[in-house]
């Protein structure tokens, strides 16, 4: 009797042990499933709803815009502002050089030209995409552009282009008559540039003529007319700069361009690209040195010019033309180059006042003697 009860008690303990082990495995599995994976962001345990991380990048701003508006913003390349910077910077150089000795650049002119750069870059991209819509469909990098992808019709593109040019005209009319005529003369370049890649291996030269028009316009907007001794070498240096950065940019698409019959300096220079870019860099630095001499610049200007030379040397020396991601990084780094040079112009112009004051004191002391 006692043996039977002991056997029954033993069987009961075995059942309980088996059940406990089974529940423990189930609980462990549930914890494993619900546990956060390594590298995955998890919301904090604090109260309140989850919030999306705030980003102020250009692409994030475009993506947060109303959906019907997004294709038009992408058509203007507002999600990729590097092109606007490269259009705007030569304008700032010219405005800075035209400032009175000891003064900062005209902030009103800088803001006016900044607005114009956004509008004209947008108009240029719209014209480019209208001309190239059939080619863009065949290139992986450009197939998602709004016109090529069918997000915007040609008719709507024309209307949008008209709106951008109208606003840009409003900006231009804020300038003096000389500058209005000079600015209007650039429209032919804006319209014809996208066609150059069909007929010449030097479309980057046409882009340089177009993108650096602000080197002429900025000075005339401040002074009332162009000073050839300053404006022409500045314009030439900008063209050389464009040949450098846009050749680097073109190496991203050289295989697709060769397949569909488009031309570029990347296809023209091929493995000799670095030698050509070095030549353009020397020409750019030489022209900017002449600008400094003719405009009476001071030490900060030439210090910045040396930094620009070092930046170009590093950019060209480390360039890998066979890696599109490296070409893009080198291309976008030119914004930094342009800002360094602008800083040198501003500081160099402020230094002029000190020299002027010292000269006045020297003259006054000689008169007193």
Domain boundaries along the sequence of the chain: 67-353
| Listed residue (275, 338, 297, 266) closest to 101, CA to CA | 297
> With bands split at pLDDT 50, 70 and 90, how would you rate the model's confidence at 112?
very high
Residue 90 pLDDT > 70: yes
Q: Please report which helix (H) or strand (E) contains residue 348, including its range.
A: helix 334-368
Tell me what pLDDT residue 138 has. Answer: 86
Q: Is the pTM of this model over 0.85?
A: no
Q: Is the pLDDT of residue 195 over 60?
A: yes
Collect all residues with Cβ–Cβ distance below 8 Å to 69 and sequence separation of at least 6. Answer: none
Tell whether the model's pLDDT for residue 31 goes beyond 80.
no
**Tokens 């940019």 -> residue:** 249
CATH architecture of 67-353: Orthogonal Bundle (1.10)
Give the pLDDT band (50/70/90) at residue 72: very high
Q: Which of 320, 194, 329, 326 is nearest to 263 (CA)?
A: 194
The closest alpha carbon to 304, from 334, 352, 329, 339, belongs to 339
Q: Map residue 281 onto helix, strand or coil.
A: helix
| Average pLDDT of the chain, as a whole number | 85
Q: d(Cα 65, Cα 240) in Å, to the nearest integer?
A: 37
Question: Is residue 112 within 8 Å of residue 88, measured between CB atoms?
Answer: no
């Amino acid at each position: 009797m006692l043996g039977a009860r002991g056997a029954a008690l033993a069987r009961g303990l075995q059942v309980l042990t088996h059940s406990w082990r089974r529940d423990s495995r189930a609980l462990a599995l549930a914890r494993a499933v619900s546990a956060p994976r390594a590298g995955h962001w998890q919301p904090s345990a604090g109260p309140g709803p989850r919030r999306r991380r705030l980003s102020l990048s250009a692409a994030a701003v475009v993506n947060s815009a109303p959906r019907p508006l997004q294709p038009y913003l992408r058509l203007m390349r507002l999600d990729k502002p590097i092109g606007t910077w490269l259009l705007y910077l030569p304008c700032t150089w010219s405005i800075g050089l035209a400032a009175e000795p000891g003064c900062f650049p005209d902030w009103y002119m800088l803001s006016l030209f900044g607005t114009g750069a956004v509008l004209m870059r947008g108009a240029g991209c719209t014209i480019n995409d209208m001309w190239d819509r059939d080619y863009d469909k065949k290139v992986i990098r450009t197939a998602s552009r709004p016109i090529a992808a069918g997000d915007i019709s040609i008719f709507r593109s024309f209307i949008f282009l008209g709106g951008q040019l109208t606003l840009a005209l409003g900006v231009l009319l804020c300038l003096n008559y000389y500058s209005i005529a000079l600015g209007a003369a650039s429209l032919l370049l804006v319209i014809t540039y996208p066609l150059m890649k069909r007929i010449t291996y030097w479309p980057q030269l046409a882009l340089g003529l177009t993108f650096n028009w602000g080197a002429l316009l900025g000075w005339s907007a401040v002074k009332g007319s162009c000073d050839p001794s300053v404006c022409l070498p500045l314009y030439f240096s900008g063209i050389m700069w464009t040949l450098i950065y846009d050749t680097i940019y073109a190496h991203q698409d050289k295989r697709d361009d060769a397949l569909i019959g488009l031309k570029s300096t990347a296809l023209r220079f091929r493995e000799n690209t670095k030698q050509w870019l070095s030549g353009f860099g020397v020409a750019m630095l030489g022209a900017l040195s002449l600008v400094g001499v003719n405009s009476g610049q001071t030490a900060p200007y030439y210090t910045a010019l040396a930094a620009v030379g070092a930046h170009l040397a590093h950019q060209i020396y480390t360039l890998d033309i066979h890696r599109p991601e490296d070409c893009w990084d080198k291309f976008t780094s030119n914004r930094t180059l342009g800002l360094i040079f602008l800083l040198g112009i501003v500081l160099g112009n402020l230094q002029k006042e000190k020299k002027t004051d010292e000269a006045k004191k020297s003259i006054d002391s000689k008169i007193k003697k």
